[in-house]
Amino acid sequence: MDQPSLAWTLSAIWIAYLLLLGGWIVLQKRSPVATLGWLLALGALPYIGFFIYYLFGPQRVERRRLNRQASRRAVESQREDWRQRLEAEALPHASSMGRLIYGASGYPPTIATAHTLLSGGEATFEAIFAAIGQARRSIHLEYYIYERDDTGTALRDLLVAKAREGVQVRLLVDALGSARVTRRWMRPLIEAGGELAFFHATSLRRFRPVLNMRTHRKIVVVDGAIGLTGGINVTDEQDQRRCREPYHDLHLQIEGPAVYWLEQMFLEDWHYSTGQVSGASLPPPELPAGGGGQVVQIIPAGPDELHAPILRAKITAMEHARERIWLTTPYFVPDEPALFALTSAALRGVDVRILVPRRSDNLLVTLAARSWFGELLRVGVRIWEYGPCMLHSKSLVVDDLYSFVGTDNFDNRSFRLNFEVAVLNYEPEAAAALAAQFEADMAGAQELIVRQPRRTIAKRFPEALARLASPLL
């Protein structure tokens, strides 16, 4: 083939490639900026761009969304009477925020008869082990990271003992985050009658490991009566008894009817991963006679949720703030609506504070986060960097009305790409407790100042580059 013919052939292939890949990307119906960005980037990378997009680009979730909806229906069919009772008790008295979250997620406000904030791995693991130790009927656990270290081994051995007592034990771990957990290592649990499942198993044989759509949830439900969730994974890195510089993190323990919805989330994920249906271990507890307890709402989020419930709830709370917005997050990569809510609140005089790690365990995220600091500081947002250990807490306090604790980071990955859970408490006591924790954490942090010496391009350029990758972080 002569050179002109070869050039025409290659040009035709390149045009066909652009049309096919461009049509595929456009049909994803992502934001215009993201869509145009991918089109321009992949147009400049002929042929190999297809594989980059295939492995790392936004993934279609319609089929998985249908599977998730089927899992929700399957679980709800086993618990319909209990669900209807809880909704009838809660919805007539729900606030506008409660109705918003219910409309976005299907999870209504509910009551927690006990609501305990746990700071650090030592307090959290003690609470988890104590709750599991008293289990009589069922133990349900779901984790993003479960390590085969001292903490993971101790928890496995306790689960083995409970399974031998006849307690139903189910452990669901993310196949990517808990890659070191194998059925061979968990054989004692399986042989004792416990069950192990993996969320979104990855496989090179399928060529496309699922990098997004991970379960980032941390859930423990014991006998349908005690529930724990928050930022702490099963690893020595988050326990000060086993690590010299452990991650600093928060967890939450709840009891009462609210645990029903935490277990609902686990059962949906279990059915989605295994196809197995199982009702709750016990009916949800009755509401306290004559009132009592705290009004809370369990909020799910994930790529199967069309309305980004956690992000929507947090932005709505910030838009209604009058006194304070105190945000703690290890990964601060806000999208435009979240950034707009923070800056607007600061401009109208709200006390907006952000607590982030001095250096997170992800350098790219650290650089991206710093790219927003300048514009936030200029409008009056105050920022603290926590150190020397890694800050891993995920919390938000808005006025005395709303306090959020959960598994979600303040980034696109948590709000749209991974499966997360947050607990919103509507009571002033919970807001006061979380605010006190925030102030205690500030003692180990350094506030950034507005007027800094002019920074060199060598420092600003990597941050600007990292910011371009923010939709993927």
In the three-class reduction of DSSP (H, G, I as helix; E, B as strand; rest coil), residue 433 is classed as helix
25 residue type, one letter = I
C-alpha closest to that of 146 among 210, 223, 232, 254 = 232
| Residue of 140, 216, 251, 314 with catalytic role | 216
Question: Can you give the pLDDT at residue 291?
Answer: 63
Instruction: Kindly give, in sequence order, each residue whose CB lies less than 8 Å from that of residue 427, ignoring residues fewer than 6 positions away.
Output: 115, 294, 295
Q: Assess whether the previous peptide bond of 428 is cis (omega < 30° from 0).
A: no
| Residue of 392, 408, 411, 441 with catalytic role | 392
| Residue of 223, 269, 411, 441 with catalytic role | 223
Mean pLDDT in residue range 440-447:
94
Judgement on whether residues 339 and 409 belong to the same structural domain of the protein: yes
| Residue tagged 């679980």 (tokens) | 75
Judgement on whether residues 454 and 390 belong to the same structural domain of the protein: yes
Instruction: Kindly give, in sequence order, each residue whose CB lies less than 8 Å from that of residue 4, ignoring residues fewer than 6 positions away.
Output: none
C-alpha closest to that of 405 among 294, 249, 252 = 252
The dihedrals phi and psi of 357, each to the nearest 5 degrees, come to -70, 150
Please report which confidence band the pLDDT of residue 201 belongs to, taking 50, 70 and 90 as the band edges: confident
Q: Between vectors from CA 364 to CA 358 and to CA 369, what angle results, nearest 5°?
A: 55
Q: How far apart are CA 422 and CA 168, in angstroms?
A: 26
| Residue of 174, 249, 399, 411 with catalytic role | 399
Could you confirm whether 399 is annotated as catalytic? yes
Last residue of a domain, one of 269, 295, 321: 295
Question: Can you give the pLDDT at residue 369?
Answer: 73
- Residue 286's CB is within 10 A of a number of other CB atoms, namely 11
Q: Is residue 303 part of a domain?
A: no
Query: Taking all residues of the chain, what is their mean pLDDT, rounded to a whole number?
Result: 85
Judgement on whether residues 285 and 391 belong to the same structural domain of the protein: no
For the cut 90, the answer to whether the pLDDT of residue 15 exceeds it is no
Mean pLDDT in residue range 442-450:
89
Proportion of the chain above pLDDT 90, given as a percent: 58
User: 32-46, 308-322, 413-427: which range is least confident on average?
Assistant: 32-46
Contact in structure between 250 and 394 (CB atoms under 8 Å)? yes
Number of structural domains the chain divides into: 3
Contact in structure between 204 and 227 (CB atoms under 8 Å)? no
| Residue of 140, 218, 251, 271 with catalytic role | 218
Residues in the chain: 473
> CATH number of the domain that 159 lies in?
3.30.870.10
C-alpha closest to that of 116 among 100, 131, 94, 138 = 131
Judgement on whether residues 37 and 116 belong to the same structural domain of the protein: no
Please report which confidence band the pLDDT of residue 457 belongs to, taking 50, 70 and 90 as the band edges: low
Q: How far apart are CA 211 and CA 252, in angstroms?
A: 28
Can you read off the two tokens belonging to residue 111? 């009551």
For the cut 50, the answer to whether the pLDDT of residue 4 exceeds it is yes
Q: Is residue 419 part of a domain?
A: yes
Say how many CA atoms lie within 13 Å of 332 toward its Cβ.
28
Last residue of a domain, one of 256, 273, 295: 295
Question: Can you give the pLDDT at residue 88?
Answer: 72
Torsion of CA 155, 156, 158, 164, to 10 degrees: 160
Mean pLDDT in residue range 291-316:
91
> How buried is residue 352: exposed, middle or buried, by Cβ count under 10 Å (0-12/13-18/19+)?
buried
Which H or E element spans position 424?
strand 420-425
Task: For residue 300, list its beta bridge partners.
Answer: 421
Which has the higher per-residue pLDDT, 12 or 433? 433
Judgement on whether residues 401 and 359 belong to the same structural domain of the protein: yes
Could you confirm whether 394 is annotated as catalytic? yes
Please report which confidence band the pLDDT of residue 306 belongs to, taking 50, 70 and 90 as the band edges: confident
In the three-class reduction of DSSP (H, G, I as helix; E, B as strand; rest coil), residue 464 is classed as helix
Q: Is residue 4 part of a domain?
A: no
Contact in structure between 440 and 24 (CB atoms under 8 Å)? no
Q: Is residue 300 part of a domain?
A: no
Please report which confidence band the pLDDT of residue 255 belongs to, taking 50, 70 and 90 as the band edges: very high
Q: Is residue 344 part of a domain?
A: yes
Mean pLDDT in residue range 253-273:
94
Q: Is residue 301 part of a domain?
A: no
Query: 109-167 pLDDT, tens per residue?
Result: 999 999 999 999 999 999 999 999 999 999 999 999 999 999 999 999 999 999 999 99
In the three-class reduction of DSSP (H, G, I as helix; E, B as strand; rest coil), residue 237 is classed as helix
Question: Can you give the pLDDT at residue 205?
Answer: 44
Mean pLDDT in residue range 66-81:
71
Q: How far apart are CA 49 and CA 473, in angstroms?
A: 19
Query: 336-394 pLDDT, tens per residue?
Result: 899 999 999 999 999 999 999 988 776 676 777 788 898 899 999 999 999 878 999 99
Question: Can you give the pLDDT at residue 52?
Answer: 62
Mean pLDDT in residue range 297-302:
95
Say how many CA atoms lie within 13 Å of 119 toward its Cβ.
10
Could you confirm whether 320 is annotated as catalytic? no
Could you confirm whether 218 is annotated as catalytic? yes
Query: 29-72 pLDDT, tens per residue?
Result: 666 656 666 666 666 666 566 666 665 555 555 556 667 777 77
141 residue type, one letter = L
Q: How far apart are CA 323 and CA 445, in angstroms?
A: 22
Can you read off the two tokens belonging to residue 261? 């919805």
In the three-class reduction of DSSP (H, G, I as helix; E, B as strand; rest coil), residue 118 is classed as strand
Mean pLDDT in residue range 216-223:
97
Judgement on whether residues 432 and 364 belong to the same structural domain of the protein: yes
Domain enclosing residue 322, as ranges = 309-472
Q: Is residue 402 part of a domain?
A: yes
Torsion of CA 174, 180, 185, 189, to 10 degrees: -20
Judgement on whether residues 314 and 230 belong to the same structural domain of the protein: no
Judgement on whether residues 317 and 414 belong to the same structural domain of the protein: yes
Question: Can you give the pLDDT at residue 283?
Answer: 64
Judgement on whether residues 437 and 371 belong to the same structural domain of the protein: yes
234 residue type, one letter = V
For the cut 70, the answer to whether the pLDDT of residue 192 exceeds it is yes
Can you read off the two tokens belonging to residue 343? 């800056």
Last residue of a domain, one of 268, 295, 322: 295
User: 94-98, 331-335, 401-405, 467-471: which range is least confident on average?
Assistant: 467-471
Judgement on whether residues 248 and 185 belong to the same structural domain of the protein: yes
For the cut 90, the answer to whether the pLDDT of residue 310 exceeds it is yes
| Residue of 394, 408, 411, 441 with catalytic role | 394
Judgement on whether residues 51 and 196 belong to the same structural domain of the protein: no
For the cut 90, the answer to whether the pLDDT of residue 18 exceeds it is no
Judgement on whether residues 450 and 391 belong to the same structural domain of the protein: yes
Say how many CA atoms lie within 13 Å of 463 toward its Cβ.
16
pTM exceeding the 0.75 threshold for the entire prediction: yes
Q: Is residue 198 part of a domain?
A: yes
Question: Can you give the pLDDT at residue 207?
Answer: 45
Query: 223-252 pLDDT, tens per residue?
Result: 999 999 999 999 999 998 998 888 999 999
User: 33-42, 192-201, 452-461: which range is least confident on average?
Assistant: 452-461
